[in-house]
Amino acid sequence: MRLVMLGLPGAGKGTQGELLGRRLAIPRISTGDMFRAVLRSETALGRQVKEYVERGELVPDHLTVALVEERLNQADAGRGFVLDGFPRTVPQARALDEKLRQIGRPLDAAVFIHVPEEEAVRRVSARRVCEQCGATYGQAQVEQSGGRCPACGGPLVQRPDDSEETARRRLQVYLSQTRPVVDYYKERGILVEVDGQQPIPDVLEDILRALGQQGNAGVSGG
Ligand code: AP5
Ligand code: MG
């Protein structure tokens, strides 16, 4: 399947994208993760990207589209993918459509996870990530963890763009630049909408049901 995940910062795109990727045995492609890796690299591109990401602004479309196109050319994306955090402008959505048209493999669905703004801000400020393995945790897991990653023992830290000020800026950017992408897919008849204010496994089951994929419970890997 070829999927994109849509929703406010903190809606659960990464969480559900990861689970869907495993369940459907397709790679999850996160532009946010790709940019965070680039900005750690201390290259000229890294310094350029850092300014945008740390301010909560979008990285310019030409850089983002080039990065995603290159990633989609890799062999594992041939069996499908779940894009997390891309597209987030209408020009990015058009560029993706064009790329997929060229290879004759259009998107199957755009999954929009509904969460109210205040819940999204609450989740983002409570979120911690493992500095060592990159795993993401919500409030309940963080409280039980003693500040260490349950998976690898690494230190749990806040994402630099999860400070309250930057998170609010990301929310504004979403409303002005990314909300129109939801309408873009709605008009094309491939938007799937789910309630993101349920326990994580229930959100996943709703998505799989909407995609006609409930029978995939036993599929793993990817
Ligand atoms: P990106 O990393 O994509 O950030 P984002 O879109 O702001 O989304 P988040 O990662 O904050 O939220 P999420 O929806 O993934 O939520 P999560 O699953 O973690 O982008 C970062 C930056 O990179 C951008 O600001 C921009 O600068 C740049 N960038 C990236 N893509 C770009 C593009 N295409 N164009 C230009 N620039 C781009 O969940 C949040 C928390 O809630 C977690 O702690 C999780 O454990 C918890 N949680 C999840 N689901 C539930 C649930 N059902 N119940 C309770 N808690 C839950
Ligand atoms: Mg994410």
Domains of the chain by residue range: 2-115+159-216
Q: Specify the pLDDT at position 42.
A: 84
For residue 116, is pLDDT > 70? yes
Confidence label for 220 from pLDDT (cuts 50, 70 and 90): very low
Backbone phi and psi for residue 84, each to the nearest 5 degrees, phi listed first:
-120, 110
Q: Which atom of ligand 1 is nearest to the CA of 35?
A: 23
For residue 97, is pLDDT > 60? yes
Confidence label for 217 from pLDDT (cuts 50, 70 and 90): low
CA distance linking residue 199 with residue 179, whole number of Å: 24
**Ligand 1 in reach of 52 Cβ (< 6 A):** yes
127 is catalytic: yes
For residue 218, is pLDDT > 60? no
Write the CB contacts of 208 (distance below 8 Å, at least 6 apart in sequence): 20, 23, 214, 216
Q: Specify the pLDDT at position 175.
A: 96
Ligand 1 center–CA 9 separation, angstroms: 5
Q: Specify the pLDDT at position 41.
A: 87
Q: Specify the pLDDT at position 4.
A: 98
CA distance linking residue 84 with residue 63, whole number of Å: 16
Confidence label for 215 from pLDDT (cuts 50, 70 and 90): low
Write the CB contacts of 217 (distance below 8 Å, at least 6 apart in sequence): 23
Ligand 1 center–CA 48 separation, angstroms: 21
CA distance linking residue 53 with residue 9, whole number of Å: 13
Which numeric CATH code is attached to 2-115+159-216? 3.40.50.300
For residue 142, CA distances in Å to 50, 55, 67, 91, 121 come to 26, 25, 32, 37, 16
Percent of the chain topping pLDDT 90:
91
**Ligand 1 in reach of 56 Cβ (< 6 A):** yes
Note the pLDDT tens digit of each residue in 123-166: 999 999 999 999 999 999 999 999 999 999 999 999 989 998 99
Ligand located closest to 6 CA = 1
Calculate the average pLDDT of the chain. 94
